[in-house]
Amino acid sequence: MSQAIEEKVASWLAGNYDEATKLAIKDLQSKQPAELEDSFYKNLEFGTGGLRGIMGVGSNRINKYTIGMATQGFSNYLLKAYPNEKISVAIGHDSRNNARFFAETTAQVFAANGFTVYLFEALRPTPELSFAIRNLKCKAGVVCTASHNPKEYNGYKAYWNDGGQLVPPHDNNVIKEVDAIQSIDDVKWSGGEANIQLLGNAMDEAYLDMLKSLSVYPDVIEAQHDLKIVYTPIHGTGITLVPKALAKYGFTNVHVVEEQSNPDGNFPTVVYPNPEESETMSMGLKKAKELDADILLGTDPDADRVGVGVKNHKGEWVLMNGNQTAVLAFAYMMEARRAKGIAKPNDMVVSTIVTTEMINEVARKNQVTCYNVLTGFKWIAELVKDKEGKENYIIGGEESFGLMIGDQIRDKDAVSAVAILCEMAAYEKSKGRTLFEKMIELYIQYGFYYETLISITKKGMNGQQEIANMMEGYRQAPPSKINNTAVVTLLDYEKQIGKNLITGESWKIDLPKSNVLQFITEDGSKISARPSGTEPKIKFYFSVHTTLKDKASFDQQYQNLQDKINGIIASMQLN
């Protein structure tokens, strides 16, 4: 163990830390020295989205002290950003272990800094926190969650006054203030308890009323109210509001997966509480088959991501991927609004650079402006804020199983997504189709786009460096061919430069800097490489497309596209 780590451990043992923390450190010293080293070798980084990490003692872990120091730094920035103004903040949390304790710790530090603090009385979906910030006109907000990460993790997501996560310049300014907190003695831990107010049913009702206003075809729901819906909250916050939202929409035949209905930070029935994973959705699929349901939906612990199961064209239950769900939702909101006569000339939608290009095609053919922003809903929220009063935002989303419907929240929202997806299923059922059959029709109409994603994790102290080396290798020596097809375009969002690799022509990318590389091949295939900002992980996104003549050709063309992506992955030696 390095001297620097030993000194940091010694400072925790000698400092004003509680006895339980000191005992835990001593236990690691005697029994798990490698774990102790990993817990202290660096300070847990406050990134542009906040904190996320494994819970435990140490500077590289999520605990009372790292949460408190982050909150003090955030407080210091708020005081500079709003001099001589009254500052209020909203705080929420999900079902993770210690999440309530971390939320209360956050509330106490903000309150001790003189802020009015609105703390949800119990666990709530993350999107309701975004809604509450706007509803209460708060200057900022925090939700304690690690989203879909395994049970060992927790986190701290920071929001600004528009209800969106931090964007420049606030993100970097908050990071500087957090980094400036060198000791837990710099933190105001208590003294403002009278400034804390609890949020409960009244905010829930306001949020649910907002969700109901998003419905396009309430008359169709009335006719199809007995649509057979299976829902699983995967031991998370969705159970608090998703059933209520479906009831408010008018659905009367909702079946909750009981084994996964209780909020539980140990997530006892799953390995990863992520609706992107087929294993996580397996209990829901089993119940959907047993009941011969019309649709299955699952939400992650903080209810901002949604997974969808439907019957395919052969009557088999399948899980939609995030791109398919997004395309269905975008197409519905555009087509339904036009059919209902409520579309506006200045309607707009927002996608991201790693999401299917099919959304751009759907928008183009529906004569709706589609903007493409960097990955992450904070960028969607920022664009909506920029266009406020000039263009009419309808829907935004990305491939990561997230949708943001309507402009009264500014983060991905699985509660509203579940309600709208069920409305879509009811609408298609009234036409004698399933959502999967609608998806095939969209492929015929707009082109058959197919995407997949793989993640490579590099653990340990060297993980981040290995990923950085991988990205630098691609940046310095981009492949000339992928799957025997020439790479014609390189898009480097870190350098904000696009380049035609055939002609040498280059151009500026008009988006904020982001460590993303995209390779576009001669046949239109797109490969994106993007390191995670919160984990030692790099993601590769693959997108290919062709035409689909008719339903009878679907299976063969689907196989052809899968084979093409498998060829791309093999040629890049990523499997």
Q: Which residues are tagged catalytic?
A: 147
What's the token pair of residue 405?
Answer: 């419907």
524 in helix, strand or coil?
coil
DSSP three-state, residue 4: helix
Strand runs labelled E in 58-103:
88-93
Residue where the block lists tokens 């020439």: 486
> Coil, strand or helix: which one is 526?
strand
Contacting residues for 266 by C-beta, under 8 A, at least 6 apart: 97, 151, 235
Residue with tokens 């969700």: 211
| Angle separating helix axes 3-14 and 33-40, nearest 10 degrees | 90
Token pair of 162, please?
């528009």
Distance between CA atoms of residues 156 and 142, nearest Å: 7
d(CA 170, CA 140) in angstroms, rounded, equals 11
Secondary structure (DSSP) of 364-423? HHTT-EEEEE-SSHHHHHHHHHHHTTTSEEEEEEETTTEEEESSS--S--HHHHHHHHHH
Of the candidates 95, 485, 407, the one whose C-alpha atom is nearest the C-alpha of residue 273 is 95
Question: What is the distance in angstroms between the CA of the first residue and the CA of the last residue of the chain?
Answer: 35
Structure token digits, residue 575: 């499997």
Give Dmax over CA atoms of the chain in angstroms. Answer: 72
Q: What is the CA radius of gyration of the chain?
A: 24
CA angle 173/177/183 to nearest 5° reads 165
Q: What is d(CA 272, CA 150) in angstroms, rounded to the nearest whole number?
A: 5
Count the Cβ atoms, other than its own, within 10 Å of residue 459: 11
